[in-house]
Structure 1
Amino acid sequence: MRFFLLPPDGSSLNDDTRGAERNRRAAITGSVATMARAVQVGSSLITVPLTLKYLGNERFGLWMTISSVLAMAAFADFGIGNGVLNTVAKAFGKDDQESIRKAVSSGFAVLTTISAALIVLFFSAYRFVNWADFFRVASPQARAEAGPALAVFSTCFAINICMDVVQRVQLGLQQGYRYSLWQLIGSLAGFIGVLSGIWFRVSLPVLVVAIAGAPILATTLNAIHFFGFVRPDLRPMRTFVESNVIAQIARLGGLFFILQVVVAVSYSADNFIIARTLGAVNVPEYSIPQRMFALITMMSGMLVAPLWPAYSEALSRGHMDWVRRTLGRSLLLVFVLTSTASLVVLLTGHQLIHWWVGSRIHPSFLLLLGLAIWTVIACCGDALAIFMNGVEMLRFQVIVATIFGAGCVVTKVLFVRHFGIAGVPWATLTAYLLLNGLPCALYVPRFFRQVGT
């Protein structure tokens, strides 16, 4: 892999100033994103036990399974969103406003086309599938709601693809805090919607509208505000759509697409594998404690995600000392914070679950221990992946992740069959350390030697 670095665009003092500015932007974005996620988590802590009690285990398991299926389909934008992010970040590092405009308009055109195509394809196939049998639900109410609930989720998901361009642009410009503020508003609106839905005892599809539709509305308002008032010069326009820019974004997006597929299948298939192997009624036994540890993963991700465009911009300017120093610090910080948090959740897990959802769920200590260890490893892996995405170390990631993804799914199926639900996190941990962690530990130092730092 070859990297073409721009020479430093100023003195060492200028480099230090730019590095400090990157740190400042990342800190602001990370702080606001963490606050937004905290609101989302707080809402979830309240709504999950209420919806579990209101829907019952099977319908709640159906909801969680549908969410997991769509999480596995997060790659449906074919990586174009991440391609836009990297393209904008690199152009920002070169102070090339014209390229930013072209990236925004070209990316929006492609994402809108993908969104429309997905809606047409889904509803063309919708009536030919028995969704109740697909999700293995038995009660009459759950069977009646399976298809409509999936249709609502899918529609919201497709619409969000085209609206996601504003988030990618803001992240690429290191202004992700703007998106996070609107995300906070969307979370509050969704929280109110779910409480209202439970109060009026609406069906599962209507409840899905509340929880999935509110964030889309917030994203739409964010796009109107940003492109209409903050940066009208970046507003998507047909005149800035260029085939060569689309091709550039698509090349990056293709690699990100493969990574997204592997990550989605590897990490988001847990509920689906359990549902297909043991039945949807068993999903809450795993999904409830998993969501508890996922709070740590989400918070950690909020802190390190702003470094993605910062790495890309620093690479464009040739500031590799900053890249190396920041990577080391981020890994150490993530390890310390997530180890502490995971230990606390492990020791208080049963009490927290009982307080959260009552006596319905009784996870084993082996399951909680596996989730705790995996959470620490996954968070450190996310911090490393943010770095590799930012410096476009994509081909290596594709090769490693593809091998890991195949091995991870097979390992999970085998572990679930032999050890039950508790085998899921241990399967993921085993596959990750052998097939992903070890190759990264060998390759990343080689990358820094190649760029001469």
Structure 2
Amino acid sequence: MKTRSAKAIKNVIASMIFKGGTILISLILVPMTLSYLNPYEYGIWLTLSSTLAWIYTFDIGLGNGLRNKLTEALALNDLKLARIYVSTSFFSLLILVTAIYLLFILVQSWLNWELILNVNAQKVQNLSYIVVIVFTFFCASFVLRLIGNIYMAYQQPAINDLLSLIANIVSLILIYLCTVFTEGSLEKVAIIYSAAPVLIFLLAYPVTFWKLKEIRPSVHWVRFSYIKELMSLGIQFFIIQMAGLVLFTTSNLIISRMFGPESVTPYNIAFKYFSLVNTGFAIIIKPIWSAITEAYANKDLIWIRKVMKKLVWIWLGGVLLTLIMVLMSPYVYKVWVGEGIRIPFVLSVFCSFYVSITNWCNIFTYFVNGVGKVRLQLYSSIISGVFFLPLAFFFGSVLGVAGILLALCVCLLPSAVWTPIQYWKIINRKATGIWFK
């Protein structure tokens, strides 16, 4: 128990440092990129990147399935099984992403991205070319990012945060050089932002498996018969991810379609400001998922109870912080991005609601994910995903951009109720039926 707690605390501290650096750089990148592009082009990039982020769900849950199964294998000190899981996951994803990329290239010529993103073709040149370039880098990142799931299975999420920090540093340097030596170019921004993570994860790949030789992926250790074992939990994670993407990544596309690409910019500035609380909370709970998997496998429920109580108190502190951020938001926006972009106060209010609800849900969904009892989360995610789009269009037509956030909050409310109930039932060994699947 002490070793597990010490490892979690150590990673939280390291993650705070690395993630803090990433947050600082991302905040600097917003006004820097806005000074290089105009709000219209910047809105296009935000919409495009969030739309193409859908590709990350096409691992059909193998990433999270590997995370849980690898953690269990390591807890039992079964390194042979661990290596089979890693090798099978890597090569399965490589085959999958190759098929996805070839399919995309085949259908690309029939896709009208100006129409999809509601973009004025006269304002942006070579949009289809930019999409292909970005998609190519996203596909490469698709496989390489599996390294992050491995570090999380080893309860070392701080290393994953370090890689993200380095990628952001590379992006910052390159964007700065562009602002000094070149004219504004959406193409350059898209390439820099999408290529930087690929470069860093590509360099991290040999270093990772030099360090973790015992689980290095090899064709010799591929066992496609184990895909079913990985997928039994992974396919549920996949559906949950798909529903989550409908909730969390289509917002930019909906705003672009309803109000134009330029409206995506103020929405994302407010979202990025309040997501600082999400990010800080994520740093704390990120090691908890795999630690709970290990603790639950070893039947250490006392440790789990203690950790969950601490997380609830931390969440309350986060709620207070978001209230302070709402009051300060007009002044923060003015200093951060200047007076050229107007961000309605109601948008900040709904952002604070969204952040608080999300963090509350994450406390208990991380527990549920860690113990692998995700069936109820699966059904809830599907229902939320189905209702989000009509709610977003309805509230958006009434309240404008802020209505999209209100729709998100409404869709998350059921999870805020049932997740703590499921936790209580499982931890007290009273879970039956759907509560224990």
- Which TM-score applies when normalising by structure 1? 0.91
- Cα deviation per residue 1:127-171 (whole Å; 9 max; x = unaligned)? 1112112211125242x2422232222112111121122211111
Report the counterpart of residue 438 of structure 1 in structure 2: 417
Query: Displacement, 1:241?
Result: 0.9
Gaps of 5+ in 1: 1-18
CA offsets per residue over residues 340-366 of structure 1, 9 Å max, x none? 331222111111111111112222221
1:314 CA displacement: 1.0
Of residues 131, 136, 148 in structure 1, which corresponds to 2:118? 136
Please give the alpha-carbon distance, in whole angstroms, between the structure 2 residues aligned to 1:150 and 1:345: 36
Distance 1:139 1:249 in 2: 44
Deviation of residue 202 (structure 1)? 5.6
> Superposition RMSD on alpha carbons, in Å?
1.7
CA–CA separation in structure 2 for the residues paired with 1:202 and 1:355? 23
* AA aligned opposite 1:301: A
Deviations 1:314-348 (A, max 9, x none): 11111122122212221221331x22331222111
2:321 is the counterpart of 1:341: yes
2:306 to 306, 320, 325: 325
What is the aligned partner in structure 2 of residue 3 from structure 1? none
State the distance in 1 between where 2:126 and 2:283 align: 34
The residue correspondences of 1:105-254 to structure 2 (distance < 5 A) are 105-138=87-120, 140-142=122-124, 144-199=125-180, 200-201=182-183, 203-228=185-210, 230-254=211-235
After superposition, give the CA deviation of every residue in 1:47-67 in whole Å (9 maximum; x if it has no partner). 211222321121111011012
For residue 181 of structure 1, report the CA deviation from its aligned partner.
Answer: 2.3
Note if 1:401 corresponds to 2:396.
no
C-alpha separation in 2, matches of 1:298 and 1:370 = 17
Q: AA paired with 2:118? A: R
User: In the alignment, is the contact (CA less than 8 A) between 2:36 and 2:185 conserved in 1?
Assistant: no
Q: Is contact 1:115-1:162 (8 Å) kept?
A: yes
Q: Structure 2 vs 1, CA of residues 294 and 150 (structure 1 numbering), >3 Å: closer, same or farther?
A: farther
Please state how far the C-alpha of 1:263 moved relative to its aligned partner: 0.9
Contact 2:31 2:336 in 1 (8 A): yes
Verify the 8 A CA contact 1:30 1:302 in the aligned structure 2: yes
Partner Cα distance (1:153, 1:23) in 2: 40
Please give the per-residue CA displacement for 1:215-250, whole angstroms capped at 9, x wherever unaligned: 22111222211102x122211111111123222112
The correspondence for 2:21, drawn from 31, 34, 39, is 39
C-alpha distance in 1 between matches for 2:428 and 2:9: 28
Cα distance between partner residues in 2 of 1:243 and 1:279:
46
| 1:233-270 per-position Cα deviation (integer Å, ceiling 9, x unaligned) | 21111111112322211222100000101111112221
Given the alignment, which residue of 274, 285, 296 partners 1:293?
274
Q: Kindly provide the amino acid, as one letter, of the partner of residue 159 in structure 1.
A: A
In structure 2, do the counterparts of structure 1 residues 451 and 320 end up closer, same or farther at CA, with 3 Å as the change threshold? farther
User: Which residue in 2 is equivalent to 1:449?
Assistant: 428
| Alpha-carbon separation, structure 2, partners of 1:384 and 1:428 | 18
Whole-Å separation in 1 of the counterparts to 2:408 and 2:92: 34
Amino-acid identity (%): 24
Q: Which amino acid aligns with 2:301?
A: M
- 1:54 is aligned, of 30, 36, 40, to 36
Partners of 2:145 and 2:36 in 1: CA distance? 32
Q: How many Å apart are 1:420 and its aligned residue?
A: 0.7
Query: Which residue is 1:429 aligned to?
Result: 409
Q: Which residue of 2 aligns with 1:5?
A: none
Distance 1:451 1:245, change over 3 A: farther
How many residues get paired? 430
* Distance in 2 (alpha carbons) for counterparts of 1:33 and 1:216: 21
2:7 match: 25
Pair 84,306 (structure 1): closer, same or farther in 2 beyond 3 Å = same
Contact 2:66–2:230 (CA<8 Å) still a contact in 1? yes
Q: What whole-Å deviation, never above 9, does each CA across 1:98-139 have from its counterpart, x for those lacking one?
A: 111111111111111122122212221111112112211125
Q: List alignment gaps of at least 5 residues for structure 2.
A: 432-437
**Residue 293 of structure 1, CA deviation:** 0.9
Q: Is residue 420 from structure 1 mapped to residue 419 from structure 2 by the alignment?
A: no
Question: CA 1:93 to 1:451, structure 2 compared with 1: closer, same or farther past 3 Å?
Answer: farther
In structure 2, distance between residues paired with 1:139 and 1:242: 48
Contact 1:36 1:184 in 2 (8 A): yes
Cα distance between partner residues in 2 of 1:274 and 1:124: 28
**Match in the other structure for 1:11:** none
Match of 1:4 in 2: none
The one-letter code sitting in structure 1 at the alignment partner of 2:416 is: G
Aligned to 1:64: 46
Contact kept? 1:72, 1:269, Cα under 8 Å: no
Q: AA paired with 1:260?
A: Q
- Aligned to 1:137, the other structure's residue is in SS state coil
Contact 2:384/2:412, CA 8 A, preserved across alignment: yes
**1:24-83 CA distance string (max 9 Å, x none):** 212222222232222222112222112223211211110110122123443121111111
* Distance (Å, rounded) in 1 between the aligned partners of 2:136 and 2:286: 27
Distance 1:210 1:329 in 2: 40
1:270 to 239, 244, 251: 251
AA aligned opposite 1:80:
L
Question: How far did residue 179 of structure 1 move?
Answer: 2.6
